[in-house]
Amino acid sequence: MAVIALTAAKGAPGVTTTCLALALAWPRPVLLIEADVAGSSSILAGYLRGSIRHDKGLVDVALAHRRGSLLDGLHQASIPLQDSTVRLVPGPTGPAQAVTLQNVWEPIAGVLRGLERTGTDVIVDAGRLGARYGPTPLLREADVTLLTTRTTLPAIAATRARAATLREDLFAQGTGDDALALLLVGEGHPYSAREIKSAVGVPVAAAVAWDPVHAEVFSIGASPSGKFASSSLLRSVRAAASAIQDFVTGRRERLAPGSLVRDTLLRDTGATRV
Ligand SMILES: Nc1ncnc2c1ncn2[C@@H]1O[C@H](COP(=O)(O)OP(=O)(O)O)[C@@H](O)[C@H]1O
Ligand SMILES: [Mg+2]
């Protein structure tokens, strides 16, 4: 169905936690890509608590690309997450590995879009915006780029400062600036979606609840309590998964050839790209 990328302006709002939770709640098979170049797989060490030996990752995909077998490389670098239809591709171990990825992001973006034909969706943990050797081409090619933020004033200020640049980049180099939306972590703690949308000037596609206890199941592999399945976190993640799919579907309908909305937008903005 789609490529969904999550990134953040600043700090650690919960990008990795939300990516993993969304992937596990997703209604179709997911390839979850850790494209955060800050280093070392948060999911292998966190959620899986180092219990699985897997020494492959995106850097092996770069090597496979040199051999002309990028798709095979992606599959071989991935590991299945138990009791799910999620396969994880661990990220680079640090900046040294990230350098080797700089020319591979673009071909990877192309291959990821093609995965749709196999019924697999892709969720990308793109880490922090603007990181050196970061996965910018994945953000540009995604069906939706979710700028993830907490709802405190400092988080909103940082998000607002970066949103304008990201929007311009997606318009000029990506599939269009309407791919940009916010994902809120902890809506109402203290600001609401409506307040943040008007402060940042970007629509809110989805929100997940503020739930530090259950978030640790994903972030550090804490044992889930009996209340985990009915927790506010999981309920909000399920709702977020469905809101994100609606966002993607709505956008594709607007972009479909012959769409009245698209043609009007292009005419009004004087843009020529399709
Ligand atoms: N919805 C949430 N509610 C409360 N705490 C959260 C939530 N999502 C993530 N966290 C916590 O925030 C911290 C950072 O999460 P992480 O996913 O590693 O952030 P990032 O990938 O943005 O650096 C972790 O301690 C995690 O448990
Ligand atoms: Mg992270």
Within the chain, residue ranges assigned H as helices are 15-25, 42, 58-66, 70-77, 95-101, 105-114, 136-141, 153-173, 193-200, 212-219, 232-255, 260-269
Candidates 219, 228, 236: which one to mutate for ligand 1, based on the most atoms within 8 Å of Cβ? 219
* Strands lying side by side in the sheet with 30-34: 79-80, 86-89, 30-34, 121-128, 3-8, 144-150, 180-185, 204-208
Indicate if the pLDDT at residue 110 is higher than 80.
Answer: yes
Q: Which residues touch 202 (CB under 8 Å, ≥6 apart)?
A: 147, 163, 167, 180, 181, 182
The radius of gyration of the chain's CA atoms, rounded to the nearest angstrom, is 18
Mean pLDDT of all residues in 99-107: 93
Beta carbon of 188 within 6 Å of any ligand 1 atom: no
CA angle 264–266–272, rounded 5-degree value: 150
Judged by its nearest atom, the ligand closest to the C-alpha of residue 187 is 1
Task: Identify the H or E element spanning 6.
Answer: strand 3-8
93 found inside a domain: yes
pLDDT at res. 41? 78
274 found inside a domain: no
102 found inside a domain: yes
What would the pLDDT profile of 144-179 be if each residue is shown by its tens digit? 999 999 999 999 999 999 999 999 999 999 999 999
CA atoms of 95 and 137, how far apart (whole Å): 18
36 found inside a domain: yes
Judged by its nearest atom, the ligand closest to the C-alpha of residue 22 is 1
**Listed residues: CB within 5 A of ion ligand 2:** 15-16, 42
Q: How high is the mean pLDDT of the chain?
A: 93
What would the pLDDT profile of 33-76 be if each residue is shown by its tens digit? 999 999 777 899 999 999 888 889 999 999 999 999 999 999 99
Pull the structure tokens for residue 199. Answer: 């402060």
pLDDT at res. 274? 44
Query: 83-87, 94-98, 155-159, 198-202: which has the minimum mean pLDDT?
Result: 94-98
What would the pLDDT profile of 129-139 be if each residue is shown by its tens digit? 999 999 999 99
Beta carbon of 12 within 6 Å of any ligand 1 atom: yes
Judged by its nearest atom, the ligand closest to the C-alpha of residue 221 is 1
Beta carbon of 219 within 6 Å of any ligand 1 atom: yes
Question: What count of Cα atoms within 13 Å lies in the side-chain half-sphere of residue 116?
Answer: 10
What residues pair up with 128 in beta bridges, in sequence order?
A: 8
120 found inside a domain: yes
What values do phi and psi take at 14, rounded to 5?
120, 30
Which range of residues forms the domain containing residue 134? 3-269
Judged by its nearest atom, the ligand closest to the C-alpha of residue 218 is 1
pLDDT tier for residue 2 given thresholds of 50, 70 and 90:
very high
Beta carbon of 215 within 6 Å of any ligand 1 atom: yes
User: How many whole angstroms from 260 Cα to the centroid of ligand 2?
Assistant: 39
The DSSP bridge pattern shows strands 3-8 and 180-185 to be unpaired
User: How many whole angstroms from 96 Cα to the centroid of ligand 2?
Assistant: 18
191 found inside a domain: yes
- Residue in 227, 237, 223 with CA at minimum distance from that of residue 21: 237
Domain of 183, CATH number, reads 3.40.50.300
What would the pLDDT profile of 179-226 be if each residue is shown by its tens digit? 999 999 999 999 999 999 999 999 999 999 999 999 999 999 999 999
pLDDT at res. 102? 92
The better pLDDT of the pair 180, 96 is held by 180
Q: Which residues touch 103 (CB under 8 Å, ≥6 apart)?
A: none
Indicate if the pLDDT at residue 257 is higher than 90.
Answer: no
pLDDT tier for residue 29 given thresholds of 50, 70 and 90:
very high
The DSSP bridge pattern shows strands 180-185 and 204-208 to be parallel
User: How many whole angstroms from 234 Cα to the centroid of ligand 1?
Assistant: 14
Beta carbon of 210 within 6 Å of any ligand 1 atom: yes
Q: Which residues touch 54 (CB under 8 Å, ≥6 apart)?
A: 44, 79, 90
CB of 161 within 8 A of CB of 196? no
End-to-end CA distance of the chain: 20
Other CB atoms within 10 A of residue 40 CB:
16
Q: What is the pTM of this model?
A: 0.94
Domain tally, the chain:
1
pLDDT tier for residue 264 given thresholds of 50, 70 and 90:
low
